[in-house]
Structure 1
Amino acid sequence: MNNKVFLNRFLILLLLPLTFSCSKRNLGYFSNYGDEKLLTEDITLITTQPIIQPGDLLQITVSDNNPIAAAPFNKINFKEENNENASSNVQDGYLVDQNGIIDFPVIGRIKIGGQTKANAKISITNLLTNYLGNPIVSIRYLNYKVTVVGEVKNPSTFLVPSERINLIEALSMAGDLTIYGKRENVMVINESNGVRTVSHLDLNDKAILDSPNFYLKPNDIVYVEPVKARKDQSSLTRSNISLVLGVISAASLILLNINR
C-alpha cells in the first residue's frame, strides 16, 4: 500500500464519525396526523381559567349606574404625560400578597387568592352590594406572562395581554425552536398552590393538542431541551477542536506534497 492510498483511507476514517453523528431527525410538528388533505375532529380539550396566585398583579374596575358612587372603589392615580400639561387616568394594579389578599378601597382586605377570575368577581361584587345598587366588576391580569428558554431563537419572558396562550403560540413568540431543539421533549413547568408540576410534551405527536398543559398558565416556564448532538458539541473543548483540526491540516499537507 503506497502512502497516497494510506492517507486517503486515513482521512476517510477520520471523517466517518462526523458522518454518522448526523442522524436523521424529525423536525416537524404533529407528524402523526398523516397526509390527509382535510381532517376534521372534535376538540376534546376543555381549557380552565387560571387560579389567582400570590404575586399576581390585577386590574380591578368597578362600575355602577351611579358613576359618582362607584368612583371611590376604583384605584385611580393621575399621571402627568411627558412634555404635556394634560393628565390621564392610569389604573393601578392590585398586588396579591403571599396570603392571597388584596387591599381594596373602602372595603379593605379581600382574600381572592386560590380563586378564578370569575369567582373573584362574584366575591367582590357581593361585598359591593352593601354600597352600590348595581355593581359591575371587571378583572384583568396586568402581569400574565410566560417564559420560554432553551433551544429557541429568542428566549425571553413574554407578556400575554389576551390572557390566553398555547404552547405553539409561545414558541412562535420566541422565534420557534432551533434545529438543535429536542421536539420530543419540551418541558412545561408550572407552580400553583405551592405545588410544582413539570410536564413533558412531544411536538411530533398530535396528542399534545389535547393535553391539559397545551394552554399555558400565568408564569409558566417552557424549556426546550437540546438534542445530544448539541450537548456533545458544547462539551468539546477548544483544545480538542484544535487537535482534530491540526491532524486534518497535517494530513492534508502531506497529501498535497505526495500529489506533486
Structure 2
Amino acid sequence: MNSKRRSRYFFRLKIFKISFAVIATSLFLVSCGNTKNAVYFNNPTSLAINNEIADLEPVIQSNDLLSIVVSSVNAEAADLFNLSRNNSDQSSLNSGNTFKVSGYLVDQDGFINFPILGKIKASGISKKTLRDEITSRLVSEKLLLDPIVEIRYLNYKVSILGEVKNPSVLNVPSEKISLLEALGMAGDITIYGRRDNVTLIREENGVRRIRKIDLTSNEIFSSRYYYLQSNDIVYVQPNKAKVASSTGTKEWIPVVLSAISLAIIIAINVK
C-alpha cells in the first residue's frame, strides 16, 4: 500500500469515526429516554397506608362555598337556620345567564354569616370542628333541641395542568380524591411528562405551598399529599424530550445526518 492509498484509507476511517459519533449522539438526543422515569412505582411492594394520613380531613379556606343543613325534632324551628332559594347566593356564568347556589360563602376574613348565630369563624378548621361549633351554640343558646348539622362543600375542585392528556378543573362531589385518581380523570400523564417531579400547589392557612412529588416511588402511598384537597393545583412538568422538541433541537438533526451522509459518499469516492 503506497502512501497515497494509505492516507486515503486513514482519511476514510477518520470520516467514519466522526460520522459514527455524531449519529450516535443524535440518536441519543432523539430517543434515549430513561424507562425508569416513564413508569409509576418502580419497586412495587406490599404496603399498608396509615389511616391517620389517608383520612386527613382538609380544612376550610376562604372562598369555599359550604352547604349547611340543620334538622331537628322541631322541623319548623330548624328551617330558620336553612337557606331558602330566596336567600341563595346568585352567581353569573360566562354566557350572561345566572344561577342560584344555596350555600354559605366563606369570606376573605374566614367567616360565614349564619342565621341568628351571626358571624362564625370557618376558615382554618375542618368541617367536623365547624359542625360541632354550630351544634354546640344551637344547644347552649336553647335555639333547637337535639339539632343535627350536616356540612358539605359545594365547590370542591382540583386543577390538573401540564403534561396530561386532558388538562382540566375537576369537580369532586364526593369530597375525596387521590392524586392518582385525579391524574386518571385527566387522561393520565403523557409520555412526555415527568413522573418523578410532579408539582402540587396547596394553600394552607392562607399560605400557598409548593411540594414536589415522585410518582416513581412507593412513598406517595404514605404521603399526606396522597389525597388532594379542595383548590389543589397539580402541575406535571415536561421531560427533556418534550423541551427539546419544542425548542427546535430536533430540527437540525436531519440536516446534520444528511451532511454526514454526503461527506461519507464523497470520501468513499475520492480517488
Same topology, TM > 0.5: yes
Q: Residues 1-260 of structure 1: matches in 2 within 5 Å? A: 15-21=23-29, 22-26=32-36, 27-33=38-44, 39=46, 41-46=47-52, 47-77=55-85, 92-129=102-139, 130-236=142-248, 241=251, 244-245=253-254
Is the Cα contact below 8 Å between 1:70 and 1:132 reproduced in 2?
Answer: yes
Percent of aligned pairs sharing the same letter: 45
TM-score when scaled to structure 1? 0.80
Q: Distance in 2 between matches of 1:179 and 1:106?
A: 56
Q: Distance in 2 between matches of 1:15 and 1:57?
A: 59
Larger fraction in helix: 2
Is the Cα contact below 8 Å between 1:64 and 1:132 reproduced in 2?
Answer: yes
Q: Distance in 2 between matches of 1:18 and 1:214?
A: 39
- Gap runs ≥5 in structure 2: 1-7, 89-99
- Residues paired across the two proteins, number: 241
Residues 229/193 of structure 1: CA separation in 2 closer, same or farther (3 Å cut): same
Runs of 4+ residues deviating >4 angstroms: 4-14, 243-256
- Gap runs ≥5 in structure 1: 80-89
TM-score when scaled to structure 2? 0.77
Question: What RMSD over aligned residues (CA atoms) do the two structures have, in Å?
Answer: 2.9
Q: Which has more radius of gyration? A: 2
Residues 197/247 of structure 1: CA separation in 2 closer, same or farther (3 Å cut): closer
Is the Cα contact below 8 Å between 2:160 and 2:167 reproduced in 1?
Answer: yes
After superposition, the C-alpha distances for 1:181-231 in whole angstroms (9 at most, x for unaligned) are: 111111111111122221111111111100111111111111111111211
Secondary structure of the corresponding residue to residue 85 of structure 2: strand
